[in-house]
Amino acid sequence: MIDLLRRIGLWGRGMVVAIPYLWLLLFFLVPFLIVFGISLSEAMLAQPPYAPLIDWLVDEDAGTTKLQILLNLSNYLRLGGDDLYILAYLNSVKIALVTTVCCLLLGYPMAYAIARAEPSKRGPLMMLVILPFWTSFLIRIYAWIGILKANGVVDNLLQWTGLTTEPFELLYSDWAVYIGMTYCYLPFMVLPLYATLEKLDPTLLEAAADLGCRPWKAFLTVTLPLSLPGIIAGSLLVFIPSVGEFVTPELLGGPDTLMIGRVLWNEFFANRDWPVASAVAIALLLFLVVPIMVFQHVQGRQTEAGR
Amino acid sequence: MAVQPIRKPTRLEPWQDPGQKPYVRIEKVTKTFGDFVAVDEVSLSIYRGEFFALLGGSGSGKTTLLRMLAGFETPTEGKIFIDGVDMAGIPPYERPVNMMFQSYALFPHMSVEQNVAFGLKQDGVAKAEIKERVGAILDLVQLGQFGKRKPHQLSGGQRQRVALARSLVKRPKLLLLDEPLGALDKRLRERTQFELVNIQEKLGVTFIVVTHDQEEAMTMSSRIAVMNHGVIAQTGTPTEIYEYPQSRFVAEFIGSVNMFEGRVVEDQADHVLIRSEDAGCDLYINHAVAVPAGATVGVAVRPEKIALSKEPPVNAAANAAANADGRNVTSGIVREIAYLGDVSIYLVELKTGKTVRVTAPNVVRRTEMPITWDDEVYLSWRPFAGVVLTQ
Amino acid sequence: MKQMGKLAWALWFGYAFLYVPIALLIFYSFNESRLVTVWGGFSTKWYAELLQNDQLLGAAWLSLKVAAMSATASVVLGTVAGLALARFGRFRGRTLFGGMITAPLVMPEVITGLSLLLLFVALEQAIGWPDGRGMTTITIAHTTFTMAYVAVIIQSRLVSLDESLEEAAMDLGARPAKVFFVITLPIIAPAIVSGWLLAFTLSLDDVVVASFVSGPGSTTLPMVIFSSVKFGISPQINALATLMMVVVATGIFIASLVMARQDRQRKRDEQMAVQGG
């Protein structure tokens, strides 16, 4: 009887986990397998626009049915052979790296200042960093259009001060993309940085000072190494989604701001070439597997440390 | 420095009575976490009405053992019986056991009354009875007027008493207490020790308490099991543990002790003589040991059992055999004195180079004390003072 | 404290970077002129126009519905997932489960969108469901990527929650399911509320995933904004943005006021307890 109850207890627990588990399997893992499958098929004019991978061939004469599996690597060969894709990948990485560094340079002093502020002020100061995150991403990007465009706020300001006389347009350039992405991803950098810096025991710095270490050196030898987990988590949180970013380059970038997210979008929506779009996605995913796994490792360690 | 046990001896103690059945029986229980052996083949019998202490440092396995009794951990091997019933497979919510947690684990979203009533509600006790029993137990712990408060509106001592009331209100036969006084400050802890003992005696519940504090264990418990690295080093009454430690670990863990190494030269039915290079004299102890002559043993002498004097000690009649030929007498130079108010601790360097710790009550004022730094002093003790340790 | 001076400058620069664009956006929403960045006098006419834009209002209504449904679903799924990760110890497939929970946090949206669309297409071919794409598919897609955020919030709340509270309840005779509903759930309720709000906001904000998995006739508000922004700026969008920000800011302001008050009350109680104890 007791054994039965216990088994029911375990069974109930298993059922509880099963619901989100199955959901994620179906709507997160299986889709990747499908994307992978379609990336190996051929585009055709049909609904949906790709050739089935697996087909039953009926041989009328012999009266038999044969299973035919068509695997097509040409989509991947196209990715490797066409400069467009390679440039797009490289450019995405470049833009993501610049964004990450900008976020770090801007976010670290902010997180540090908030962590060093009086305890009662930290909450409101942090709130101010997160607040924009609660408003629409799209609208925040949109706000920069008005600032950066020709005859926009920056242009007007420059003309008014007499620095330029020609209309000056930052919009539709890589610079605009850097600004917009740094702007949008900044909270993702500040949040984990603040979390590690806040936990840092201030007496460590006092001990360093007491032992004759100058503040700047104490920062380099004590604070910086101890905040490394936050730096890594924040950088990955910014870098990984940045690589596949679509909205910002689409709205702020010029026509020549190639990013892989845009290429994927265009292959899918404009060219209706689903197999190539899938191949682009798989290639992007393969590229991101390592950083994603590092991120999960860091994330896991931090939750463990919370115990 | 250990406080002597305060328990009054009552009737024949149950663990000495072969007719008594143990209430809790732990049989060769082992618990491993991965490669780490937290509890290693522990066997214990605990009797009805006992106040039993599991004493040990951190990582000694005492809390794991307690959690296995409560049902939060399952033994890797071995069996646990409570009141004769095998506890294997019985979840915590079906065990006739309640636990008081180290963190108190008071539900923050419930008032004191709701916290205490929680267990009774789970059993479907009638509302009127719940009210009555909650009121009674809160009165017992002197929190009658705090029933409507939330845990965060209470002081540490009050929270501790709510936790106690909550774990007692279901009238468990066995109460498990995990460091019940650990979060209290020293003075409150001392007062609460006596309260806990009184409540336990009043209700007749069997208590098993986990603690790392030897004073706490000595003051409160009927018996103590000293744990080390997952193994029980010794089980016994506080007196037995303190006066007759069976191993160096126990001797050194409980209170402080001076250890002398030596060789057995004479082993008679009523005494043993040990030649010790360490002590610089022969050690005479009035109990026998079952070791071959010539074996190397340790002798433990408690600091408060050593007498200090500037003159050679006079052989009192009772000590004649012991102190003949300078047995149990040695001398050295006072190197350090620590004045603690009620007692002073002297560190005396023997001629052999060994440092011996001696505690002496301050019967005169500090300024009038005869013994001071760098004095040459004699150390002596009685034949029953030493304990031979073979382990 | 000398270096704090420089740090404070960095902090204020950061805040300026974050808020000046938003302030300008709000400022120009009251601009009479159609040319957004040229001041033509104060006016609220764009707000009036906004309220007559049926396409936009319809899209907003759809987005709110999707956001509410997907936030609710993702709170249920995410809470259970967070509970499993924080409390069930090691179970079979935990590593995969943990991976599937954290990966959506950083997964580029184009990949999530594309993969879900292909799944829906394949499912429709195989079993005839979902029949076309619209509100249902958008809701499922949003639930999938927002539940990861909820799970992480719940997991970290549970990790910091003293497990002996749950053990104490079990020790006092409550079965695991009851422990969850009577003890765990009330204590983590604030985390669940913030998880819901976060999921709601993320859903209301998403344009990429929705573009992939929506069908004809199911255009969400971000999709409408995106397509109109692509053709340049319009004062109506400024007005809409202002309204959205006012709603969000008010909500957050009220929430933090309430929280600060509870915090103060709590501190006072604790102080009194120490003095009275």
Q: Which of B33-42, B261-270, C20-29 has the highest mean pLDDT?
A: B33-42
More confidently predicted of C91 and A234: A234
Instruction: Give me the CATH topology for the region B14-96+172-251.
Output: Rossmann fold (3.40.50)
Task: Indicate if the pLDDT at residue C225 is higher than 70.
Answer: yes
Flag whether residue A6 sits within 8 Å of chain B, measured between CB atoms.
yes
- How many other C-beta atoms can be found within 10 angstroms of the C-beta atom of residue B289? 16
Task: Indicate if the pLDDT at residue B6 is higher than 70.
Answer: no
Model confidence at B2, pLDDT cuts 50, 70, 90, reads very low
- For residue A122, the distance in angstroms to the closest alpha carbon of chain C comes to 12
Model confidence at B12, pLDDT cuts 50, 70, 90, reads low
The per-residue pLDDT of chain C, averaged, comes to 88
**What's the token pair of residue A112?**
């540090």
Task: Indicate if the pLDDT at residue A164 is higher than 80.
Answer: no
Flag whether residue B156 sits within 8 Å of chain C, measured between CB atoms.
yes
- For residue C8, the distance in angstroms to the closest alpha carbon of chain A comes to 6
Of B70, B123, B154, the CB nearest to C173: B123
Distance of CA A244 to the CA centre of its chain: 6
Specify the CATH number for the domain of residue C212.
Answer: 1.10.3720.10
Answer yes or no: do C248 and A156 touch at CB < 8 A.
no
> Helices marked H in chain B — which ranges?
62-70, 112-122, 127-140, 156-168, 186-203, 214-220, 238-243, 248-253, 320-323
Task: Indicate if the pLDDT at residue C174 is higher than 80.
Answer: yes
How much is the pLDDT for C87?
Answer: 85
**What's the token pair of residue A248?**
């910002």
Q: Which of B289-303, C61-75, C114-128, C207-221 has the highest mean pLDDT?
A: C61-75
B105: left (phi over 0), alpha (psi -120 to 50) or beta: left
Task: State mean pLDDT over C197-225.
Answer: 91
- For residue C6, being part of any structural domain is answered with no
Full DSSP string of A177-237: HHHHHHHHHHHHHHHHHHHHHHHS-HHHHHHHHHTT--HHHHIIIIIHHHTHHHHHHHHHH
Cα R_g (chain B), whole angstroms? 25
How much is the pLDDT for A8?
Answer: 58
Q: Which of A215-219, B77-81, C215-219 has the highest mean pLDDT?
A: B77-81
Flag whether residue B150 sits within 8 Å of chain C, measured between CB atoms.
yes
Answer yes or no: do A127 and C256 touch at CB < 8 A.
yes
Q: Which of A75-89, B73-87, B270-284 has the highest mean pLDDT?
A: B73-87
Model confidence at C248, pLDDT cuts 50, 70, 90, reads confident
Number of domains making up chain C: 1
- For residue A28, the distance in angstroms to the closest alpha carbon of chain C comes to 7
Flag whether residue C270 sits within 8 Å of chain B, measured between CB atoms.
yes
* pLDDT, tens digit (0-9, with 9 covering 90-100), for C37-86: 677 788 888 899 888 888 889 999 999 999 999 999 999 999 999 999 88
Distance CA B118, CA B134 (A): 10
Contacts of B91 in chain A (CB under 8 A): 5-6, 9
| Residues contacting residue B88 through CB under 8 Å, at least 6 positions apart | B74, B75, B79, B80
Flag whether residue B91 sits within 8 Å of chain A, measured between CB atoms.
yes
User: In Å, what is the CA distance from B207 to each residue of B18, B93, B200, B201?
Assistant: 21, 19, 7, 10
- Give the residues across from B208 on adjacent strands: B52, B176
The per-residue pLDDT of chain B, averaged, comes to 88
- How many other C-beta atoms can be found within 10 angstroms of the C-beta atom of residue A37? 18
Residues B315-320: contacts with CB within 8 Å, 24+ apart? B318/B382, B319/B382, B319/B383
Model confidence at B17, pLDDT cuts 50, 70, 90, reads confident
Answer yes or no: do B92 and C168 touch at CB < 8 A.
no
How much is the pLDDT for A135?
Answer: 80
Task: Indicate if the pLDDT at residue A247 is higher than 50.
Answer: yes
Flag whether residue C277 sits within 8 Å of chain B, measured between CB atoms.
yes
* pLDDT, tens digit (0-9, with 9 covering 90-100), for A21-37: 999 999 999 999 999 98
Token pair 């594309």 is found at: C114
Contacts of B101 in chain C (CB under 8 A): 164, 167-168
Contacts of C250 in chain A (CB under 8 A): none
**What's the token pair of residue C128?**
């005839």
User: In Å, what is the CA distance from B246 to each residue of A168, B253, B389, C101?
Assistant: 90, 12, 6, 55
DSSP 8-state secondary structure symbol assigned to residue B391: -
- For residue C69, being part of any structural domain is answered with yes
- For residue A3, the distance in angstroms to the closest alpha carbon of chain B comes to 6
* pLDDT, tens digit (0-9, with 9 covering 90-100), for A97-122: 999 999 999 999 999 999 988 888 88
Flag whether residue A7 sits within 8 Å of chain B, measured between CB atoms.
no
**What's the token pair of residue A201?**
């025991």
* pLDDT, tens digit (0-9, with 9 covering 90-100), for C123-167: 988 888 888 888 999 999 999 999 999 999 999 899 889 999 999
Task: Indicate if the pLDDT at residue C1 is higher than 60.
Answer: no
- For residue C261, being part of any structural domain is answered with yes
Contacts of C168 in chain B (CB under 8 A): 99, 101, 105, 107, 166
**What's the token pair of residue A269?**
């929506």
- For residue B66, the distance in angstroms to the closest alpha carbon of chain A comes to 21
Residue C196, domain extent: 40-270
Contacts of B33 in chain C (CB under 8 A): none
CATH number of B256-389: 2.40.50.140
How much is the pLDDT for A9?
Answer: 63
- For residue C224, being part of any structural domain is answered with yes
How much is the pLDDT for A155?
Answer: 77
How much is the pLDDT for B267?
Answer: 83
Flag whether residue A10 sits within 8 Å of chain B, measured between CB atoms.
no
Q: Domain spans of chain B?
A: 14-96+172-251, 256-389
- Among A56-65, A123-132, B238-247, B324-333, name the one with the lowest average pLDDT: A56-65
Q: Which domains does chain A have, with CATH numbers?
A: 74-305 (1.10.3720.10)
Task: Indicate if the pLDDT at residue A76 is higher than 50.
Answer: yes
**What's the token pair of residue B351?**
């001629």
Vertex C94, ends C89 and C100: CA angle to 5°? Answer: 135
List of chains touching B (3+ CB pairs within 8 A): A, C
* pLDDT, tens digit (0-9, with 9 covering 90-100), for B192-220: 888 899 889 888 899 999 999 998 999 89
Model confidence at C195, pLDDT cuts 50, 70, 90, reads very high
Task: Indicate if the pLDDT at residue A165 is higher than 80.
Answer: no
User: In Å, what is the CA distance from A276 to each residue of A38, A262, A281, B200, C109?
Assistant: 9, 13, 9, 77, 17
Task: Indicate if the pLDDT at residue A3 is higher than 60.
Answer: no
* pLDDT, tens digit (0-9, with 9 covering 90-100), for B219-243: 899 999 999 999 999 999 999 999 9
- For residue A2, the distance in angstroms to the closest alpha carbon of chain B comes to 7
Mutate to test the interface with B, among C171, C182, C184 (most CBs of B within 10 A): C171
How much is the pLDDT for C219?
Answer: 92
- Give the residues across from B299 on adjacent strands: B260, B388
Flag whether residue B58 sits within 8 Å of chain C, measured between CB atoms.
no
* pLDDT, tens digit (0-9, with 9 covering 90-100), for B102-142: 999 999 999 999 999 999 999 999 999 999 999 999 999 99
Task: State mean pLDDT over A91-96.
Answer: 94
